[in-house]
A and B are shown apart, each in its own frame.
Chain A
Amino acid sequence: MDRRQFFRTSATAGAAVGAAVLPIRHAKAAGTKENKEFIGVLVDTTRCIGCRSCEVACSITHDNFVPDIKNDNALEQIRDTSDKQWTIVNRFKTEKGDVFVKRQCMHCWQPACVAACLVNAMYKTKEGPVTWNGDKCMGCRFCMVSCPFDIPKAEYHSWNPRIQKCNLCYERLREGKKPACVEACPTDTLMFGPKRELMEIARHRVYSHPDKYVHQIYGENEVGGTGWLYLSAVPFSQIGFRTDLGTTPYPEYTKQFLVSVPLILFGVPALLLGLNELTDRKNKLRESQEWTNPGAENE
């Protein structure tokens, strides 16, 4: 290998190393050793009366569209959260009568939107809320494609669109207050606290009223666990929940691919350089000459 070729080889290898800026970080949520626990909210849908105070409180707190809950008859149809409203309440007609269900970001333990975001604009804070940072977001909307609950919403009619979703009132939490919706709820449907405690309360309610509740806590394991937990008297598929999402945290689906990246990034250049060397015609010629030489000293 002459000098020039050596440089060429090392330049290629160097370039490959330079590109290897992709250490795989495991989703931050898993095993943090900090004392802070992830917080969440328990929603007991059997208690909700559909007053929609939470919608109003949320919109006032975040300067969004405040619905006219007395006159707009919004419960007549099934709605979705939007870029103007971070939370909404739907009414479902079920075998056990009308059930009201609040909908907002679930604040997953390992959020797909955070794993999707290439600029860390979607961010899982160490307290638990998933927040959005407009100074970083480039508006690719990959979070919207990835979210299993279809929560992030884009402002399509703005020259400078934001991604709108519930942030669990992160700014209020830092002041030591509860989320606005929890504070506004008149029926104790919403309960705020660390997920561990909420799970205990939820299980206690199910065990002490086994006929009242279905024996499932939505959000305990769904998509790897979520910050918001739901109790229900009827199967969750009847009140607008997707029950086919599985219990695998969504970032896991891309992990296999991301893990193979360094393998390809280093393996392929090595293979290609080797191939290139092997197919070198000059080498081939030199060898064939040596073979035909009468170099029989060894024998």
Chain B
Amino acid sequence: MNNTAVFTSEFNRVFKFFLQELKPRGKWLTPFNVISIPIIIAGLIILYFRFVYGLGSVTNLSQDFPWGLWIGFDVVTGVAFAGGSYVVTFVVYVMRNEKYHSIVRVTVLNGLLAYVFYAGALVLDLGRPWHIVNPIIGNSFGYNSVLFLVSWHFLLYMIAMFVEFSPVIAEWAQLEKVRKFLSALTLGAVIFGITLSILHQSGLGALFLMAKPKIHPLWYSEFIPVLFFVSSIYAGLSMIIFEGTISHKVFKHLIGEGSHHHYDEIVLGLAKGAAITMFVYYFFQALLFIHEKRWELINDFWGYWYLVEVIGFVLIPCFMFAYAVRNRNLGLIKVASVMAILGIILNRLNVSVIAFRWYAVDHYYPSWEEIVVTLMVISVEIWVLRWIVTRMPVFRNP
């Protein structure tokens, strides 16, 4: 056989294999399906109205509140939760810590899907999404724009994460040579990906730097980019713990018995990392509090709201993590991770939506359509995640 014939037969094999794998497996009437299918259908109907009659037909966006839930939660918050991917690849590939190797694949997959769906939700929010290629193909580069940087880094980082994950796909399609080639690219992709992550995690914060007169001074500071970056570290770590808890229940049959004990050690390590980064973040907030004399602003509704976020959902979960690690209390770690996640949601929504134009008489609140579409995005992401982990070697040890 000559090379072309080998290639064609191999291509046909992979193609047939792929078609076969596309078919659904398992039971249809699971609780998740029963909830998510109506949400997805409702979301699609809403999106039809959104694209035919404009954003105003389904959202509560206004001239005063140009960015709502779809940006504030889907994009700004969703990307923070995808931060676990760069933290874990850093530890495993750069620092060569083998302890966390078994969670690399699922973390990178979670990160990749989070970017594809949550950052991808940006398309739903753009008024003229068909022009989304403009900053990429080069007919109009707005170098001065933070958003230009963020959009490029989203794109490049998605590619980097795809490269990081691609050996798994090659392994699944049984393409040994391709897998070897792709594995060799991993370190480069990881280093490139970490750099991009630092830049666009902080860049998402930098988006709000020019909104200075519109954001409550307790949430505005010139250090928003640094705060966003540091908090993305523990946001990612908490999300890995949270997702891991769920997938160890749902995908128990895929994970194998032996790794459960080992997994507890991993969770303890992640919780330790989260505790330390949260404390650094809190310390930074405390410095800003003193430096900007924020106590003058603390004695009203916004002041208390700020304390709820910084004390209730940063400092307390931070101590919970630390206490739980010391006492090897995995239950408490899970509670702390949920609180840390809520704290991140609170922080990102405060900056982008809640404390944005805090003085407005008619403040924005999301419409039910916006909430349904957000839930739709999450549901579709979980569908795709489930499809991939039940087929590709994501949980098995590499």
Contacts and interface: CB of A to CB of B under 8 A. Distances in A.
B128 A137 contact: yes
Nearest to B127: A139
Interface of chain A, helix or strand or loop or mixed? loop
Question: What band does the interface of chain A fall in when counting residues whose beta carbon is under 8 Å from B?
Answer: 35 or more
A138 B125 CA distance: 10
Interface in B52-66: 52-57, 59, 61-64, 66
B152 A21 contact: yes
Interface in A10-50: 11-12, 15-16, 19, 21-25, 27
Nearest to B186: A8
B57 A136 contact: no
A242 B199 contact: no
Given A157-B53, A272-B194, A119 B63 contact: no
Nearest to A137: B128
B96 to A, nearest CB: 5
A296 interface: no
Contacts of A138: 126-129, 131-132, 134-135
Interface string A263-287: 0110011001101100111000000
**What is the size category of the interface that chain B forms with chain A?**
35 or more
B148 interface: yes
A227 to B, nearest CB: 19
Interface stretch (A96-104, A198-206, A210-218, A253-261): A253-261
B327 interface: no
Contact of A141 (B127, B156, B185, B208): B127
A144 B64 CA distance: 8
Contacts of B196: 19
Interface string A142-156: 101110101001111
Contact of B64 (A21, A150, A268): A150
Ranked nearest first, the 9 interchain pairs of A and B with the lowest CB-CB distance are A139-B127, A156-B56, A118-B148, A141-B66, A138-B131, A144-B66, A146-B210, A161-B127, A139-B128
Interface of B: 51-57, 59, 61-64, 66-67, 90, 93-96, 122, 125-129, 131-132, 134-135, 139-149, 151-153, 156, 184-185, 187-188, 191-192, 194-196, 198-199, 202-203, 206-214, 222, 225
